[in-house]
Every structure is written in structure tokens, then in C-alpha cells.
Amino acid sequence: MGSRILTMKRQAAELGRIRTGYSRPNPDPKKGNIPVKSKTFVLTSHSRDYVAAAADLYGGKVEQWTPQRQSVAQWRVITEARELRAILPAGDVLNQANEMWTGGGCERRCDGITESISRRPCICLAKYGEDWHTRPPTQVCRPTSRIGMFLPDLPDLGVWRLETKSYYAADVLAGGLDTVLQATGGTGLLPVRAWIEQRTAVREGKTKQFQVVMLVPALPKLRHALSGPISTAAALDPGSLDRPAIEAAPEAVPDYAAEARLCETVEEARAVWRRANAAGHIDPKGTGELSRELIRIADDIAKGIDTRTGETGDQDDEHGPDDDGVYDGEFVEDEPADQDAEPPTAYPAATWPQAAVPGGGAR
């Protein structure tokens, strides 16, 4: 029997990442790459096969790519997809923190109250106040949201990590997922729809353009998202939740007329009529075709008519032998012979063939 390390996280393998931006080379070789916001999703992975499958599904060109401040090359595709259909694993899949990254790695990771690396109160809040997030990322942490999700139409079992550093997206993602988790308890898979939404905001007289990753349950109706966990089959095919169930085949109607013809008494035939009436298969007023037929059969039984043959009981029938194999017979006296009639001519005597006669010479 297997055993687990109780303090170890249990998570699926990460196959790749889903990004909302990419970088292009800087004309000045002395400077780093220039970040670019993408209107479509960007998928990256260490496996070229995964990225090639994503390019076939979502469009785009597979290319080799090296992330900023890293030396290991990966593969990426800037897809043509403005929307992704995915499935969230069970549990709370949203991981958020205010983070600051430098060439040496993650320098700060804060939950908004305590910075976990230095164990100090939130540095950005203490230094810049409530609106610290409006400052450039070189001065403050960036709200980072990560969600692991299944892309069911790509190969292998594992998650693709969606990552965004948008302050506004962090708020939207948390609010939407918390509502669903409250309804489902996080005990089942959940189909979702993700897209990149372009937005604007005016602050201090200046218009700011930004993008937000929207993530909502991909279900036909809101009631499906709030009515509890759904099955794995429904997560793979959400449309089945709103599809009418296949109706059962109608119940076969018994052949009441055939049953009535086997009855020997009028009361037995009436019992067949009452059973058909109780099942709703007959007109209780007796005006339907089946009702009239059962009544005729009962009348025939009362008159002594065989309902299977239509014959009455006093008709002559040819009877078979009795239990001893004896047939009923009738004696008829011979009429006086006509004296002038010629006697019947006898048939020629039967003879054996010559070859069959003993001593006939056959060899």
C-alpha cells in the first residue's frame, strides 16, 4: 500500500506556461529586450512537441526563445487565439503574491501585509502608501497571479501555468474564483474560459491603458456554476449540462385482444378490459376501437362462440382418437345390390418381378 509525505505539495506536472506578453530584441545591443503586451495568448515550454501541438491548435509559428535573465532556451508560439478553453483542477488553484524579481531571483514576496523573505511588514505599503501599485515596477513589487490549468486538447496529463502581473487582473481573478469555490467547495473539475481584455483608466488626469486576463466558468448557465461540483464528463463537455435528456422508449402496449380471446368466461374477458383501463391504454367510455373489440369478444364468449375460430359449440367437428387411440365411428347398412349391375372387374394379380422370384435364374 502506498504512502505519502504529508507536508509535500501534491500538484500535477507543469507542461508549459500561458503568457500575455513577449519580448523583442532591443535595437541597442547594450540594453535588454523590450517587453511587448500581446493581444493573443503566448504559450511557452521546454518541449518543442507541446508548443508545436499548441501552434496546430491555436495558430502561430513555433520559435526558439530565451526568457529574460535566463540562459536556457525554450520554445514559444505567439498564438492567434484571443480566448482559451481550459479546465481548472480541484482545489484552490490561484496563487497570488506581490513579488519583486531581480537578476538574483525573487527579492521580495509579500501577501500585502507581511513580506515573507525578510519577515518584515509590507515594504511597498510602508514606503509609498495605499497607492503604491501605481508606481513603476522598478520601485515596487508587482501583483503576480498564477493559475495551473489543463488544456484538454493538448497532449499529456499536466497543467499549463497562466501568469499575469496585472494589479487589476489579480482582483478580478480572485473575486471570480472565490465565488465558484464557495459554491463547489473546490472538490471537482471546472471548465473555464480565459481571454485578454483591453481596458483604460483615468488617474490624476492621465489615461492609462492596460490589459486584464478574464477567467470565468465556461458553463451554459450561472446556475450550473453555483449548484455544486460537476462530473468529469460535464467538465470536458459543458454543453451536456444544458442538453435535454434522452427520453426513454415508450412502454410497449400489451395485446389485450389476444389475451381476451384466450379467456373462457365473460368475467375473465372483463378483467382484461379493466386491466387495460387501469394502465391508461383504453378509452374508459368504451368508445375506442380496442374497447369495442374487447366488448365484442366478451359477447362472443357469452354466446358460446369460439373467439379464436368464430365457430359455435354445436357445429360438427371431426374429432381425433380418444386416449385409447379409438375413433368414434358410425355404422351404415349396405344398400341392396342391383341385380342387373355388372360385378366389378378384379384388378390384375400382383406379381413379383422375374429377377425377384426365387429360382428365377438371376445371378
Q: Which of 123-137, 228-242, 269-283, 348-362 has the least mean pLDDT? A: 348-362
Residue 315 belongs to a domain: no
The burial class, CB within 10 Å (0-12 / 13-18 / 19+), for 179 is middle
Q: Of 244 and 152, which is predicted with more confidence?
A: 152
pLDDT at 189: 87
Q: Which of 29-33, 168-172, 328-332 has the least mean pLDDT? A: 328-332
Residue 190 belongs to a domain: yes
pLDDT digits (tens, 9 = 90+) for 8-21: 777 788 999 999 88
C-alpha distances in Å from residue 278, one per residue of 157, 267, 297: 56, 16, 19
Q: What is the rounded CA–CA span in Å between residue 169 and residue 163?
A: 10
pLDDT band (50, 70, 90) for residue 353: very low
Residue 224 belongs to a domain: yes
Instruction: Give the other-Cβ count within 10 Å of 351's Cβ.
Output: 8
pLDDT digits (tens, 9 = 90+) for 145-193: 999 999 999 999 999 999 888 888 888 888 878 877 777 777 888 888 8
Q: Of 233 and 123, which is predicted with more confidence?
A: 123
Could you tell me which of 289, 284, 262 has the C-alpha nearest to residue 273? 284
263 in the same domain as 229: no
State whether residue 217 is helix, strand or coil: strand
Cell numbers 501577501 correspond to: 111
Q: How many domains does the chain have?
A: 2
pLDDT band (50, 70, 90) for residue 246: low
pLDDT digits (tens, 9 = 90+) for 98-144: 999 887 889 999 999 999 999 999 999 999 998 898 888 889 999 99
Q: What is the rounded CA–CA span in Å between residue 56 and residue 44?
A: 14
Residue 341 belongs to a domain: no
Tell me whether strands 14-24 and 159-164 are parallel, antiparallel or unpaired. parallel
For CA atoms 59, 63, 68, 71, give the dihedral sign.
positive
42 in the same domain as 93: yes
96 in the same domain as 178: yes
Q: Of 54 and 69, which is predicted with more confidence?
A: 54
103 in the same domain as 183: yes
Computed over every residue of the chain, the mean pLDDT equals 80
286 in the same domain as 223: no
Q: Would you say 93 and 149 are in contact if contact means Cβ atoms under 8 Å apart?
A: yes
pLDDT at 15: 95
263 in the same domain as 207: no
State whether residue 316 is helix, strand or coil: coil
298 in the same domain as 192: no
191 in the same domain as 287: no
81-112 burial, b at 16+ Cβ within 10 Å, e below that, comes to beebebbbbeeebbebbbbbbeeeeeebbbee
295 in the same domain as 169: no
Q: Name the domain boundary from 192, 218, 242.
A: 242
The alpha carbon of 297 is separated from its chain's Cα centroid by a whole number of angstroms, namely 51
**Longest Cα pair distance anywhere in the chain, in angstroms?**
153
209 in the same domain as 100: yes
Q: What is the rounded CA–CA span in Å between residue 133 and residue 188?
A: 35
Residue 314 belongs to a domain: no
Q: What is the rounded CA–CA span in Å between residue 108 and residue 139?
A: 12
pLDDT band (50, 70, 90) for residue 205: confident
Q: Of 349 and 199, which is predicted with more confidence?
A: 199
Three cell numbers written together for 346? 378384379
Residue 84 belongs to a domain: yes
pLDDT at 22: 84
Residue numbers of the domain that contains 113: 14-242
pLDDT band (50, 70, 90) for residue 323: low
Please check the confidence at residue 199 and state whether its pLDDT lies above 70: yes
Could you tell me which of 112, 99, 105 has the C-alpha nearest to residue 144? 99
111 in the same domain as 44: yes
Instruction: Give the other-Cβ count within 10 Å of 282's Cβ.
Output: 22
Q: Which of 214-218, 302-306, 336-340 has the least mean pLDDT? A: 336-340
3-state secondary structure 144-165: EEEEEEECCCCCCCCEEEEEEC
Nearest-5° Cα angle at 305, 258 to 253: 15
pTM for the complete prediction?
Answer: 0.62
Residue 359 belongs to a domain: no
What integer is the mean pLDDT of 222-246?
78
Residue 335 belongs to a domain: no
Percent of the chain at pLDDT exceeding 70: 83
Q: What is the rounded CA–CA span in Å between residue 196 and residue 88?
A: 18
Cell numbers 538574483 correspond to: 104
Please check the confidence at residue 90 and state whether its pLDDT lies above 90: no
What are φ and ψ of residue 117, in 5° steps? -75, -45
Residue 134 per-residue DSSP state: G
Please check the confidence at residue 76 and state whether its pLDDT lies above 90: yes
Q: What is the rounded CA–CA span in Å between residue 304 and residue 312?
A: 6
226 in the same domain as 295: no
